[in-house]
């Protein structure tokens, strides 16, 4: 196993205090494996969503897909990725939310996960595939500490449950030419949580 002490050590810790814990693990998955998953997941059925914002319907600037991990029709690449993340974290996630950022115009606005749609105490594990994109993590309270993390293919970012209370995270648009990226967000949903209505009000 690449990181047997993944959750127990201070390896890759970007934040570890009363506001939560954030851990970045570049190379959690070998580059060739990440590339194969990326190629396979590009071919799943992706959804273009529209969302109401400030009284107008707008395109969500990325494509999305979501799966329960017990879905018998789970794409093979996602099954393998879920098993790898389980091996690394020893955490029994039960859902995967996928984002496909086609290029630098695609983004996700600052938001936090709704805590009632996450099993208390479970982190979110974000697996990155494809192009590297920067994530900005910003504290909600002054002095509004900011963490910028360049999420490389094959990396895993773990954000603890508590961080969702204290920080927003975003993938900003970029003018730098950049290829496609897929993120897979593994979460543990509480029983009965739909996974819909997932974002804060500023999401697009
Ligand atoms: O693409 C990412 O890494 C972030 C995705 C995200 O913030 C989300 O799915 O809530």
pLDDT digit string, tens, across residues 106-156: 999 999 999 999 999 999 999 999 999 999 999 999 999 999 999 999 999
Question: Is the distance from the beta carbon of residue 156 to the nearest atom of ligand 1 less than 6 Å?
Answer: no
195: left (phi over 0), alpha (psi -120 to 50) or beta: left
pLDDT at 7: 58
Nearest CA to ligand 1 atom 3: 183
pLDDT at 10: 78
pLDDT at 27: 97
pLDDT at 196: 41
pLDDT at 202: 32
Counted residue by residue, the chain has a size of: 204
**What is the spatial distance between Cα 96 and Cα 112, in angstroms, rounded to a whole number?**
16
pLDDT at 199: 34
Question: Is the distance from the beta carbon of residue 99 to the nearest atom of ligand 1 less than 6 Å?
Answer: yes
pLDDT at 191: 83
- Neighbour-count burial of 47, counting CB atoms closer than 10 A to its CB (0-12 exposed, 13-18 middle, 19+ buried): exposed
Nearest CA to ligand 1 atom 9: 185
Give the count of beta carbons closer than 10 Å to the beta carbon of residue 45.
Answer: 7
pLDDT at 32: 98
CATH 1.20.120.80 fits 13-187, yes or no: no
Question: Is the distance from the beta carbon of residue 129 to the nearest atom of ligand 1 less than 6 Å?
Answer: no
Question: What is the full per-residue pLDDT of the chain (204 aa) written as tens digits?
Answer: 344 445 567 789 999 999 999 999 999 999 999 999 999 999 999 999 999 988 999 999 999 999 999 999 999 999 999 999 999 999 999 999 999 999 999 999 999 999 999 999 999 999 999 999 999 999 999 999 999 999 999 999 999 999 999 999 999 999 999 999 999 999 999 987 655 433 333 333
The answer to whether 102 touches 180, Cβ cutoff 8 Å, is: yes
Domain boundaries, the chain: 13-187
Closest ligand 1 atom, CA of 62?
1
- Which residue out of 111, 153, 154, 183 has the highest number of ligand 1 atoms within 8 Å of its CB and is therefore the one to mutate? 183
164 Cα: distance to centroid of ligand 1 (angstroms): 12
pLDDT at 8: 61
Question: Is the distance from the beta carbon of residue 169 to the nearest atom of ligand 1 less than 6 Å?
Answer: yes
pLDDT at 193: 66
Question: Is the distance from the beta carbon of residue 108 to the nearest atom of ligand 1 less than 6 Å?
Answer: yes
111: left (phi over 0), alpha (psi -120 to 50) or beta: beta
Q: Which pair of structure tokens corresponds to residue 106?
A: 């695609």
């Amino acid at each position: 196993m690449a990181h047997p002490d993944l959750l127990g050590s201070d390896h890759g810790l970007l934040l570890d205090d009363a506001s939560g814990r954030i851990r970045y693990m570049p190379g959690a998955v070998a580059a060739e494996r990440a590339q194969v998953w990326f190629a396979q997941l590009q071919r799943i059925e992706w959804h273009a969503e529209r969302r109401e914002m400030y009284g107008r319907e707008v395109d969500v600037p990325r494509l999305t897909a979501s799966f329960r991990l017990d879905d018998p029709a789970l794409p093979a690449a996602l099954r393998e990725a879920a098993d790898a993340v389980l091996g690394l974290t020893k955490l029994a996630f039960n859902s995967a939310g996928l984002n496909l950022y086609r290029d630098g115009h695609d983004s996700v606005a600052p938001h936090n996960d709704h805590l009632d749609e996450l099993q208390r105490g479970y982190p979110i594990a974000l697996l990155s595939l494809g192009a590297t994109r920067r994530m900005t993590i910003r504290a909600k309270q002054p002095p509004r500490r900011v963490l910028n993390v360049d999420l490389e293919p094959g990396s895993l970012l773990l954000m603890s449950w508590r961080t969702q209370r204290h920080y927003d995270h975003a993938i900003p648009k970029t003018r730098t030419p950049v290829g496609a990226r897929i993120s897979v967000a593994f979460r543990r949903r509480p029983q009965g949580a739909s996974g819909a209505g997932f974002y804060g009000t500023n999401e697009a």
